[in-house]
Amino acid sequence: MNKLLITGATTMLTLTGVAHAQSSVTLYGLIDAGITYTNNQITPTGGGHSNWELTSGAVQYSRWGLRGAEDLGGGLKAIFTLESGFNVNNGQYTSSNRIFNRQAYVGLSSRQYGQLTLGRQTDGMVDFVGPLSLTGTEYGGTHFAHPYDVDNLNDSFQINNSAKYLSPDFAGFKFGALYGFSNQAGGFANNRAYSFGMSYIWGPLNFGAGFLQLNNSGQFNTNGAVTDTTGSSLQGVAGSSAVPLGALASRQQTWGAGVNYAFGPAVAGFVYTQTNLTQLFQTGFSTHFQNFEGNLRYALTPAVGLSAAYTYSRAGGNAGSGAPHWNQVSAMADYSFSRRTDIYIQGVWQGVSASSNSLLGVAWINGVAAPSSTSNQVEATVGLRHRF
């Protein structure tokens, strides 16, 4: 009898182990904290003053999340991701009205047919072009973003109500598409989004391209595709949360492409993006942004990494001959104590040239609390990152 009970218990434990082996849930996250100096920020009393501040996410937004998968057999899996951004300075969510403000989706994944997911997700510019820019990676991040992060390469906003498809790898070629619903009766196009992109890897060459369109997000349908954000693309314009610049226009179209080439311990890259904004700030003012980024990263040793980028940006449209253009130089050095923990030092200089009446002609490094009172701004950060 005792042998029977022991055998039964062993069988149950074995079956339980098999069940757990077929499904998994992973807790993961990243904490990025630093001290940032900015030479010039506008203050409520006027003028500009330097600022020393404790910052969260100077390179990568601090976040935690849950990622899970269940093997359904035949190469098919059920998958989910729930990811929340937070401010390590005070422990608050980066978005005040949602728990999982970065990503929240569920779907099916197949080795043969690709992946289909539903929920709050990233767009094609983030997925396919962002990894080729320093702003979309661990080698530069938040402060390296193009002006206002208007092309969203630094993942300042995500798409609600979205259905997304990612293809399997076809000998180095991948593609994807996303549609974000407005979720509004009688307003199908009122705050909807759609996006697509592709990438191709061939030896040391990595190429990617993407497209994103936001329709009528400026109508502020709060249940629509684009609402509040996890980044800082334009703080303080529409409340306490950061909002993408395109959410203040009747339409945003963004497209871009990039290429990386690896040689030895170095990777060189070039990225071009263009964003067209129609009726910005609900006026007749329309403009377009172009960004040209050249970047380089170099593994000096297995523990020491160096990276740098130069970005030239310009705005056009009916802003006229005085439309602003920006020059931005960014650099970073990183030392890894381990695969999970590293320290870094980085700096960014941004200069802008524009007419005195330009709406957007200010120097404002992404992630810095306030724009400059002059045509130049400099920031420097010393920080610590830990991944778990």
In a domain, 224, yes or no: yes
The proportion of the chain whose per-residue pLDDT surpasses 70, expressed as a percent, equals 84
Residues in CB range of 203: below 8 A, 6 or more apart: none
In a domain, 20, yes or no: no
pLDDT at residue 220 in the model: 58
Q: Is the pLDDT of residue 322 over 60?
A: yes
Q: How many CB atoms sit inside 10 A of residue 304's CB?
A: 13
Which residue type occupies 68?
G
Q: How many domains does the chain have?
A: 1
Q: What is the largest CA-CA distance in the chain?
A: 93
Identify the three-state secondary structure at position 125.
helix
Q: Is the pLDDT of residue 181 over 70?
A: yes
Mean pLDDT across 137-147? 96
pLDDT at residue 155 in the model: 94
pLDDT at residue 240 in the model: 31
Q: Is the pLDDT of residue 269 over 60?
A: yes
pLDDT in tens, 35-93: 999 999 998 877 789 999 999 999 999 999 999 999 999 999 999 999 999 999 999 98
pLDDT at residue 221 in the model: 65
In a domain, 353, yes or no: yes
d(CA 251, CA 26): 38
pLDDT in tens, 77-125: 999 999 999 999 999 988 777 899 999 999 999 999 999 999 999 999 9
- The secondary structure of 192-248 as a DSSP string is EEEEEEEEEEETTEEEEEEEEEEESGGG--TTSS----SS-SSTTSSSSS---GGGG
Structural domain boundaries, residue 113: 25-387
Whose CA is closest to 242, among 9, 61, 68?
61
In a domain, 51, yes or no: yes
- What's the chain's average pLDDT? 87
Q: Is the pLDDT of residue 8 over 50?
A: no
Can you say whether the dihedral through the CA atoms of 132, 138, 144, 148 is positive or negative? positive
pLDDT at residue 348 in the model: 98
The proportion of the chain whose per-residue pLDDT surpasses 90, expressed as a percent, equals 70
In a domain, 62, yes or no: yes
pLDDT at residue 249 in the model: 74
- Report CA-CA distances (Å) from 136 to 128, 218, 282, 370: 10, 25, 29, 22
Q: Looking at residue 143, which CATH number applies to its domain? A: 2.40.160.10
d(CA 36, CA 52): 6
pLDDT at residue 259 in the model: 98
- Degrees (nearest 5) of the Cα angle 56, 59, 62? 45
Whose CA is closest to 227, among 156, 142, 179?
156
| Confidence class for position 129, pLDDT limits 50, 70, 90 | very high
pLDDT at residue 223 in the model: 85
What are 290's strand-pairing partners?
274, 314
pLDDT in tens, 327-376: 999 999 999 999 999 999 999 999 999 765 666 778 999 999 899 988 99
Pairwise pLDDT comparison (187 vs 305), residue with the higher score: 305
- Degrees (nearest 5) of the Cα angle 248, 159, 258? 90
Q: Is the pLDDT of residue 156 over 60?
A: yes
In a domain, 144, yes or no: yes
What size, in residues, is the chain? Answer: 388
In a domain, 313, yes or no: yes
Q: Is the pLDDT of residue 289 over 90?
A: yes
In a domain, 2, yes or no: no
What are 213's strand-pairing partners?
194, 253
User: Do 285 and 278 meet the contact criterion of CB atoms below 8 Å apart?
Assistant: no
pLDDT at residue 276 in the model: 94
pLDDT in tens, 212-268: 999 876 555 678 898 865 544 444 332 333 556 666 678 899 999 999 999 999 999
